[in-house]
Chain A
Amino acid sequence: MSHHLVAFEDVTFAYPDGTAALRGVSFRIHHGESVGLVGANGAGKSTLLLHLPGILLPSSGHVRVGDWPVTAKTLPQVRRSLGMVFQDPDDQLFMPTVGDDVAFGPLNLGLPSDEVEARVAGALERVGATHLRQRPPYKLSGGEKRAAAIASVLSMSPDILVMDEPSANLDPASRRRLIALLRSFEHTKIVATHDLDLVQDVCTRTIVLRDGRVAADGPTAEVLGDDALLGGCHLERPLRMQGCPRCGPRK
């Protein structure tokens, strides 16, 4: 396995209507790192994420995932090593029951029946959703849907977990559970979100995007403490790093 698990080299991408979404993005993410990807609406986070499983291919530059350059020919290998959790679980849970959905990936990998069964049971247990197995997705709560969506990629045993806004639409308790779950994963994680408190809890490193470029890339505590940088990117300190409204500004 290569040391650099995910690498972007001067990647640019423009949508067919001419909108330039990425304008030369470069970074390297190493094995086991947990990276927060933050930025304003329209900064290019979602576009960047879609480059990882090769749903979008760069207009110029290169993307590498694990041992593979992401090209049209290597897509099956790339997608095998990468689990992508989409923002809206309704997009991700498309099978009749949660169990079918978690089995979807392993069955497509052509695994034997008992291995599929073991993976489904293991993934559901990992996210605490064993009891949801027979339930149809439309009957789940927001938090349950999120857990099921995460199980549906865990069952493929990916090396890298990619998540788009994992805490969106979750109530505070479900969000707290999600954070605990994410912290327990040893996978390489890339989390795109506006929830900077979640980034602070889960990610050791933060990449800030602004207008399709990397505006900052460094340890989370450093990046999220830089008010000038955050202000210029339509962001603000996580609530916990802000001063107490009663006791006055943080010293």
Chain B
Amino acid sequence: MTRGHSLGTSVAHLDEYASAETPIGRIDPRAKLLTTIAFLVAVASFGRYQVLSLVPLALYPIALIALGDVPSGSLLWRLLLVSPFALLIGAFNPLLDHTPLGTFGPVHVTGGWASFASIMLRFVLSVSAALLLVATTGFDAVCAALARLGVPRILVVQLLFMHRYLFVLVEEVSRTSRAFALRSPDRSRPSMRVAGTLLGQILLRTLERAQRVHSAMICRGFDGEVRLRRELRWRAADTAFVACWSAFFLLVRSHDLTRWLGTAISGAIG
């Protein structure tokens, strides 16, 4: 299997875990979406050198994994797949930023290392929250929630179609690259010129498919709006879900829970 293919199928299987049988699966998609947004805002709002005070926020993804019955192994695998982006963003901080922040035992911590750790932690938190939203809700239910919350239709339709045709596109790319590989056994990857032609082929085929899909849509009365039928019922439990988690995020943001916990524990020991 090619790497592209494994990426495609790994995304494919993400919302297989979505089921209404778990406590998290029963929460209204809109509630989970709003809570995820609140979580992301909370994660982003911390200062660049803050690492330890972010840690309590991990409770949210951990709770979702536990209550939503999501296998953590597959989640970790997906985090690894996208981690190069975060590594690339943070990698130069330790080299460029030498602001001394203090010592941690025998180690002198510089601002660069702290901000690098902060970026990585934030990456893990925010990406796992987004993945868990899809894994516990299902991609189409997230889209239905987005539509109900007033996100422009055209964006929602784009997302739906991206999810639907991602696999078709990945398959087409892997077919093309297989056709290349079979007829050029001495080369592991195409030269720039050939790569351009291959990409052009894929683009043309994608455009043709888009045209055929559009034809199929207008044949069945498509008028610019995709009507997704999802019964969304907002219950008291959903309000409680959003309210409790938001309150927790606010608490973590405004009080340094890690330090407080540390003091409490060392106080109890001492």
* Nearest chain A residue, comparing its CB with the CB of B222: A108
Given A96-B140, A96-B160, A100-B228, do A90 and B219 touch, yes or no (CB 8 Å)? no
Question: Are A86 and B221 closer than 8 Å at their CB atoms?
Answer: no
Residues of the B chain whose Cβ atoms lie less than 8 Å from the Cβ of A83: 219
Question: Are A55 and B222 closer than 8 Å at their CB atoms?
Answer: no
Residues of the A chain whose Cβ atoms lie less than 8 Å from the Cβ of B163: 96
Task: Count chain B CB atoms within 10 A of each CB in A50, A79, A86, A104 and give the residue with the most.
Answer: A104
* Nearest chain B residue, comparing its CB with the CB of A99: B229
Question: Are B218 and A55 closer than 8 Å at their CB atoms?
Answer: yes
Chain B proximity of A190: nearest CB distance (Å) = 14
Question: Are A53 and B227 closer than 8 Å at their CB atoms?
Answer: no
Chain B proximity of A119: nearest CB distance (Å) = 12
Stretch at the interface among B33-41, B67-75, B209-217, B257-265: B209-217
Question: Are A107 and B229 closer than 8 Å at their CB atoms?
Answer: yes
* Nearest chain A residue, comparing its CB with the CB of B8: A138
Question: Are B229 and A86 closer than 8 Å at their CB atoms?
Answer: no
Contact with B along A64-87 (1 / 0, CB 8 A): 000000000001100110111010
Question: Are A96 and B216 closer than 8 Å at their CB atoms?
Answer: no
Interface size on B, residues (CB 8 A): 27
Contact with A along B185-221 (1 / 0, CB 8 A): 0000000000000000000000001001101111111
Cα–Cα, bound, A139→B226 (Å): 22
Chain B proximity of A63: nearest CB distance (Å) = 15
The reply to whether the CB of A88 lies closer than 8 angstroms to some CB of chain B is yes
Question: Are A100 and B221 closer than 8 Å at their CB atoms?
Answer: no
Given A96-B160, A97-B140, do A105 and B220 touch, yes or no (CB 8 Å)? yes
The reply to whether the CB of A137 lies closer than 8 angstroms to some CB of chain B is yes
* Nearest chain B residue, comparing its CB with the CB of A86: B216
The reply to whether the CB of B161 lies closer than 8 angstroms to some CB of chain A is yes
Cα–Cα, bound, A137→B213 (Å): 14
A interface secondary structure, majority = helix
Cα–Cα, bound, A103→B216 (Å): 14
Given A91-B212, A95-B164, do A156 and B12 touch, yes or no (CB 8 Å)? no
**8 Å CB contact of B219 from A79, A100, A103:** A79
Chain A proximity of B172: nearest CB distance (Å) = 10
Q: How many A-B residue pairs have CB under 8 A?
A: 80
Chain A proximity of B208: nearest CB distance (Å) = 10
Question: Are A80 and B139 closer than 8 Å at their CB atoms?
Answer: no
Contact with B along A94-124 (1 / 0, CB 8 A): 1111001001110111000100100000000
Question: Are B220 and A152 closer than 8 Å at their CB atoms?
Answer: yes
The reply to whether the CB of A92 lies closer than 8 angstroms to some CB of chain B is yes
The reply to whether the CB of B223 lies closer than 8 angstroms to some CB of chain A is yes
Given A96-B139, A107-B227, do A80 and B221 touch, yes or no (CB 8 Å)? yes
The reply to whether the CB of A148 lies closer than 8 angstroms to some CB of chain B is no
Residues of the A chain whose Cβ atoms lie less than 8 Å from the Cβ of B222: 104, 108
Given A96-B140, A96-B163, A138-B12, do A156 and B229 touch, yes or no (CB 8 Å)? no
The reply to whether the CB of B82 lies closer than 8 angstroms to some CB of chain A is no
Residues of the A chain whose Cβ atoms lie less than 8 Å from the Cβ of B140: 96-97, 100
Chain B proximity of A152: nearest CB distance (Å) = 7
The reply to whether the CB of B60 lies closer than 8 angstroms to some CB of chain A is no
Question: Are B164 and A94 closer than 8 Å at their CB atoms?
Answer: yes
Cα–Cα, bound, A113→B229 (Å): 9
Residues of the B chain whose Cβ atoms lie less than 8 Å from the Cβ of A113: 229
The reply to whether the CB of A153 lies closer than 8 angstroms to some CB of chain B is yes
Residues of the B chain whose Cβ atoms lie less than 8 Å from the Cβ of A86: 212, 215-216
Residues of the A chain whose Cβ atoms lie less than 8 Å from the Cβ of B168: 90, 138
**8 Å CB contact of A94 from B12, B167, B216, B228:** B216
Given A94-B161, A108-B223, A156-B221, do A100 and B229 touch, yes or no (CB 8 Å)? yes
Task: Count chain A CB atoms within 10 A of each CB in B139, B167, B221, B222 and give the residue with the most.
Answer: B221
22 contacts between A and B (CB under 8 A): A53-B218, A53-B219, A79-B219, A79-B220, A88-B212, A90-B209, A91-B209, A91-B213, A94-B165, A94-B213, A94-B216, A95-B160, A95-B164, A96-B139, A96-B160, A96-B228, A100-B229, A105-B220, A105-B221, A109-B221, A137-B164, A138-B164
Inter-chain pairs besides A53-B218, A94-B213, A96-B143, 10 sampled, C-beta below 8 Å:
A84-B216, A84-B219, A94-B165, A95-B164, A100-B228, A103-B229, A105-B220, A116-B229, A138-B12, A153-B219
Residue positions of B touching A, CB distance < 8 A: 12, 139-140, 143, 160-161, 163-165, 167-168, 209, 212-213, 215-223, 226-229
Q: Which 3 A-B pairs have the closest CB atoms?
A: A108-B221, A96-B140, A105-B220
Residue positions of A touching B, CB distance < 8 A: 50, 53, 55, 75-76, 79-80, 82-84, 86, 88, 90-92, 94-97, 100, 103-105, 107-109, 113, 116, 137-138, 152-153, 156
